[in-house]
Structure 1
C-alpha cells in the first residue's frame, strides 16, 4: 500500500510534469520555429534542467509526451460526449489538431515516430464505433471492423502529415479524413444501408 508521503511525492512529480509540458507548449506558441532546449523549458517551467530530463527524458521524449497529451485530451473529449459515431471520432480528432496548430504541427514534424500519433485513443474509439455500427446492422456481419478502423487510421495519418506540411488547409484535412471513413463504411455496408453509406461518396467533391 502506498504511504501518504509516497503519494504526495508522486502528485508533486505529476504537477511538475504538467508544468514542463505546459511550458513547452507556451514556448512553441511564442516562437514556433525556435529550438526548444531543455534549459529553455526548465526556465519557463521554473524547474531544474535535470528535472525535465528525469520526468520527461531527452528532447525526442518531449515530442512523444506532447503527443500523449494530445491523445489524453482526445480520449477525455470523446468519453465526455460518448462518441459512438465514427464520424464524431474523426471530427474530434481533426478538431484537436487544428485547434492547436502551432504545437501539433511542430510535434508531428519533430517526433520520429509521429506515425503512431493516432494509434491509441482515436483508433481505439474508432474500433468501438465500427463494432457498434456492425452490431446495429449498419455494417455486414462478415466485415473485420478492426481492419476497417486501421485503414481509416492510416489514411488519417496521411492526411495529418499533408496538413502539417501545409499541403492542405484545415477544411481539406477534415474532408480527406472523412472521405477515408466514408469509403471504409461503404465498403463494409450491409445491404439495407448500402445506398445511405454510398450517398456521401456520390455527392462529395473530389478531395
Structure 2
C-alpha cells in the first residue's frame, strides 16, 4: 500500500476507534467532531475531510463493526441447512450483544433518521446476510428455491429480526429476551417456508425456543392505561384520552372539533 493511503487508513482507524470509545464511555452520540479529533489526535478538518459529516462518521463506524459480522457468519456448523438460519440469528445477536452500548446508540441514530445515502447500503447488506443464511436450504430444496431467488424469504427473515432488534435497541427487551424473540421469529419464518417433510423437526425446534421466550415484556406495561402510575401509558392516556373499547381510536371531542384554535380563523360558511 502506498505511504499516503496507509497514512490515511491509519488516521481513519484512529478516528473510528475514538468515536467508539466515546460512545462506550458516555453511552451517548451527542459528542462533537472536535471531541473525536482530540481523542484521535488529528485535526478537526481531517475528520470532516475523511468522513464528510457526523452521520458519515456513524455509518463508517457501523460499517466497520458489521464487516466482522458478515465475514464470520460464512462458517456454519450444522449439517442441516434449515439450522443455518438459527445459527445466523444466534451469531448476529451475539455480535450486537458484544458491544451493546455502541450498537444501541448507533442504531438509535440510524433508525431515527431518513438517509437516502447510507440507509439503502445498510439494508442491502442486511438482506445479503439473510439471503446467505438460506442459500444452502434453497439449493437442497429444503425451502422453495424461488422464495430465495425472489428475496421473499430473506426479506421476511430480515424484517422479523428487525422487529426484535428495534425493541431491544429501545430497551424494551433485555439481552436474552432479544435473543429468544429473534430466534423464534426466524424459526417460525422458516417453518412457514419449508417442505412438509421438514416441518415436524422445525416444530420441535420452535417448541424448544418458545419455552425460553420472555413471559412479560417491559413494553407490555405501557399498553394498559393506568397499569403503572407515572408510566408512559399513563401519561399517554392523559394526553390522548382512553378509547371507549379496546382497539378503538377515539376521535377529537365535539368541542375540540368545533372550537377553532387561537389565531386560526374559521372559514365563513357559504
More displaced, 83-92 or 103-112? 83-92
Asked whether the equivalents of residues 15 and 36 of structure 2 are also in contact (C-alpha less than 8 Å), the reply is yes
Q: How does 1:104-183 map to 2 (within 5 A)?
A: 104-111=103-110, 112=113, 119-141=123-145, 143-144=147-148, 146-183=151-188
Provide the aligned C-alpha RMSD in A. 2.3
Q: Name the CA distance, whole Å, in 2 between partners of 1:130 and 1:34.
A: 35
Instruction: For structure 2, list consecutive stretches of 5 or more residues without a partner in the other structure.
Output: 215-270
Match of residue 44 from structure 2: 49
Aligned length: 201
Match of residue 246 from structure 2: none
Asked whether the equivalents of residues 71 and 120 of structure 1 are also in contact (C-alpha less than 8 Å), the reply is no
Asked whether the equivalents of residues 33 and 44 of structure 2 are also in contact (C-alpha less than 8 Å), the reply is yes
Q: Name the CA distance, whole Å, in 2 between partners of 1:183 and 1:118.
A: 25
More helix by share: 1
Q: Does 1:15 align with 2:16?
A: no
How has the CA–CA distance of structure 1 residues 34 and 138 changed in structure 2, closer, same or farther, with 3 Å as cutoff? closer
The structural deviation recorded for 1:200 is 2.5
More displaced, 103-112 or 138-147? 138-147
How has the CA–CA distance of structure 1 residues 120 and 95 changed in structure 2, closer, same or farther, with 3 Å as cutoff? farther
Match of residue 101 from structure 1: 100
Q: Name the CA distance, whole Å, in 1 between partners of 2:99 and 2:127.
A: 20
Match of residue 257 from structure 2: none
Q: Name the CA distance, whole Å, in 1 between partners of 2:194 and 2:174.
A: 30
Q: Name the CA distance, whole Å, in 2 between partners of 1:157 and 1:118.
A: 12
Q: Name the CA distance, whole Å, in 1 between partners of 2:65 and 2:85.
A: 19
Q: Does 1:91 align with 2:96?
A: no
Q: Deviations over 1:148-207 (max 9, x none)?
A: 111111121221111111100111111121111111111111121111122223442355
Give the number of the structure with larger relative contact order, counting CA–CA contacts within 8 Å between residues 6 or more apart. Answer: 1
Q: What TM-score, normalized by structure 2, do the two folds share?
A: 0.67
Asked whether the equivalents of residues 71 and 122 of structure 1 are also in contact (C-alpha less than 8 Å), the reply is no
Match of residue 38 from structure 1: 33
Asked whether the equivalents of residues 138 and 193 of structure 1 are also in contact (C-alpha less than 8 Å), the reply is yes
Instruction: For structure 1, list consecutive stretches of 5 or more residues without a partner in the other structure.
Output: none
The structural deviation recorded for 1:115 is 6.9
Asked whether the equivalents of residues 67 and 117 of structure 1 are also in contact (C-alpha less than 8 Å), the reply is no
